[in-house]
Amino acid sequence: MTENLLIELLTEELPPKSLDKLGNAFAASIADSLKNQALSTADTVVTAFASPRRLAVHLTAVPAQAPDQTVALRLMPVAVGLDAQGQPTPALQKKLAALGLGEITATALRRVQEGKAEMLFLEQNVTGILLAAGLQKAVDEAVRQLPVPKVMTYQLDDGWENVHFVRPVHGLVALHGQQIVPVRAFGFVAGRTTRGHRFEARQAILEIDHADHYAALLETEGAVIPGFSQRRHRIREGLEAAAGAVQLQCLNDEALLDEVTALVEHPNILMGTFPADFLEVPQECLISTMKINQKYFPLLDSDGKLTHHFLIVSNITPADPGQIISGNERVIRSRLADARFFFDHDRKRTLASRLPDLDRVIYHHQLGSQGERTRYVRALARIIGQLLGDSNLSAQADQAAMLAKADLLTDMVGEFPELQGIMGRYYARLEGMDETIAFAIEDHYKPRFAGDVLPRSMTGICVALADKLETLISLFSIGQLPTGDKDPYALRRHALGVIRILIEKDLPVGLDVLISRAADVLQDATIGDQGAGTNHARPVTPALVQQLQDFFYDRLAGSLRDQGYTVQEVDAVLNLRPSLLCEIPRRLAAVRAFAALPEAASLAAANKRVGNILKKSAFDATIGIDETCLQAPAEIALYRALSAIETDTRHAFQKGDYVTALQILAALKAPVDTFFDQVMVNDENEALRRNRLALLIALQVTMNRVADISRLAA
């Protein structure tokens, strides 16, 4: 017979930015452990709960004891365990004794062939584990495996034992239906009592009579919505309703919504205001201080402009919310006054006047200062400007790159680092600079994350490419490569940013050209120094350049697969390492269209065969085909068919019509199949062999202009 199961850890306030992750991990670990112990069924439904002071999980259809099972115990090879008469050897008897088993006859053993060896197995009937023991194991594993970035050490009530956990634990609940499961954790034996909201609960102690009544009891009697997603949905609905009531819209910020959901147990939405004259400060500054410092939700008008209204998600619901609102308004006025002070104080100096100070800001102890780095980025931005435009674009890119990091030294960015670039744009515009330069200062950080917008102008594109390439090649040069899931300098993000810009902006400049120019710039010791002190050389070698190119194509392959392209399609295109990344979407579309042709599978297999033959031959690929050496009708037919389509495929490729360039290859199916059926490539006659290899090289070149179609072979 099964019952539903509830486990709850009551704690002190948990870290808000990781609460949802902690709740899901706790529930998943408990569920997986019970499943592995046969203490759950295929019909078990797992529900995770996570509030600021609790982690819990509810599971349906959990038996009081796991069913008995027949387990095959792997012992040893037959040759070791049985003698010539088929009786247990001393080695097997010793093994059985170590397992706590007595005398066993050979008939109780089962033989199983594993590769070349025959193994002995012993089948045993194992009594199913009781829920109390299985749940104890599950709780221990969940506590140990919880993804906690930083643990606390605290002392249990006994005054002797120290424990390590994300926050101190104050209670443990474990109910199987109505029955308490006597598991232990953190010095507590599980019971059926928990606590609700610190101030709003109807009673201090809540007694849970059944596992299924947990969520309802907490909400009605404890003033706590225990489910993270339910609480989040309630907050979102409340924010939208409050904003709609005054014909405004709430700023959409999923991360802020998650954080606030993790801070409150029973949300109450309130509206506050601040003096409208604060709106003279850039709205990004006001929004940042409201979100980061106070966890408020700014309200915008229909044009997306900030208004002087904001929403508060309170954790209490008093009869008169006036004091809460006025208290929050008083706090926000002080915060916004600080922002206005920073803004006014920063405007007393120009961006250009701050540039010498960048030489005193360390970028990296092995790479020098921000000032030195800025000079490298400027030099590279000028070159990219010439590659993508003319001397005018190059000059604009140089000016924007020169000022791009100046706002790092402003008070506003010092207080709110996420405003870097944005404040540079504001200050540049206030100084009367051209809009192109101002927006390029902001946009050179873009794209900052997956799905972010790209730079708006060619000037911003030049500086963004220069900034990201300098970061990548400089850090690669000192061995600071990403490893596993660790990427402290966000090099993967920088590489994907370069890739997105080149592809989505359809830029006609090769990735290899950009990397080569960046390498040349970083090796020029005169650029970084310019009288500013000791220059930090960037040791860029050909091997490092190749390593960086490999890194880019690995990032690109992963990105394309995430977009829905198959592994075969991606491999077919990227195996040729196309330099112009802007061509890759068209090449992928052509490969997909080609793969749908009835001739595709045969041609891909033939192409793979051609590649294998050429790999094994030490043939000079520069030697052309000698028509007079073509003897077999099949090779003559293939040569003619290849000659007939070669010009058309080349012209289609040169025009960028990759679909046509691949579809023309369908005409080669019959002559290629016949060639491999009737012609011996490695003929004993050297002249014939060399000529046939030359024919295969020409065939491979024609077939693989757009993509390596051998990668489509099964």
The full 3-state SS of 280-348, as one line of letters, equals HCCHHHHHHHHHHHHCCEEEECCCCCEEEEEEEEECCCCCCCHHHHHHHHHHHHHHHHHHHHHHHHHCC
pTM over 0.85: no
Same domain, 58 and 73: no
How does residue 94 score in pLDDT terms, banded at 50, 70 and 90? confident
Our count of domains for the chain comes to 5
Same domain, 593 and 449: no
Per-residue pLDDT averaged across 573-595, rounded? 95
Same domain, 394 and 481: yes
Same domain, 339 and 213: no
Domain boundary among 220, 240, 260: 220
**Residues whose CB is less than 8 angstroms from the CB of residue 100 and which lie 6 or more positions away in sequence, other chains included:** none
Same domain, 175 and 247: no
Q: How far apart are CA 308 and CA 276, in angstroms?
A: 5
Domain boundary among 220, 255, 274: 220
Residue 267's Cβ-count burial label (10 Å; 0-12, 13-18, 19+) is buried
Per-residue pLDDT averaged across 390-408, rounded? 96
Please check whether residue 657 lies inside any domain of the structure.
yes
With a cut of 70, say whether residue 557 has pLDDT above it. Answer: yes
* CA 113 remoteness from chain centre: 43
Please check whether residue 352 lies inside any domain of the structure.
no
The H helix count followed by the E strand count for the chain is 27, 20
With a cut of 70, say whether residue 530 has pLDDT above it. Answer: no
Please check whether residue 360 lies inside any domain of the structure.
no
Please check whether residue 356 lies inside any domain of the structure.
no
Same domain, 404 and 509: yes
Single-letter residue type at 178: Q
- 16, 313 Cβ separation under 8 angstroms: no
With a cut of 90, say whether residue 517 has pLDDT above it. Answer: yes
End-to-end CA distance of the chain: 50
Please check whether residue 14 lies inside any domain of the structure.
yes
Q: Are strands 184-185 and 179-180 parallel, antiparallel or unpaired?
A: unpaired
**What CATH number does residue 580 fall under?**
1.10.730
Please check whether residue 355 lies inside any domain of the structure.
no
Same domain, 461 and 492: yes
Nearest to 437 by CA among 420, 425, 419, 450: 425
Same domain, 453 and 593: no
How does residue 535 score in pLDDT terms, banded at 50, 70 and 90? low
With a cut of 90, say whether residue 106 has pLDDT above it. Answer: no
Please check whether residue 670 lies inside any domain of the structure.
yes
The parent domain of residue 113 ranges over: 69-126
Please check whether residue 439 lies inside any domain of the structure.
yes
Same domain, 408 and 493: yes
Same domain, 192 and 334: no
**Residues whose CB is less than 8 angstroms from the CB of residue 341 and which lie 6 or more positions away in sequence, other chains included:** none
**What CATH number does residue 475 fall under?**
1.10.3210
Per-residue pLDDT averaged across 511-522, rounded? 93
Q: Which of 145-154, 156-165, 586-595 has the lowest mean pLDDT?
A: 156-165
- Per-residue model confidence as pLDDT tens digits over 33-51: 999 999 988 889 999 999 9
Question: Torsion angle of alpha carbons 403, 409, 410, 415, nearest 10°?
Answer: 130
Sign of CA dihedral 338, 341, 345, 347: positive
Supply the mean pLDDT for the chain. Answer: 91
Same domain, 598 and 614: yes
Per-residue pLDDT averaged across 606-615, rounded? 88
Same domain, 138 and 234: no
Alpha helix (H) ranges present in 146-281? Answer: 214-220, 228-245, 254-261
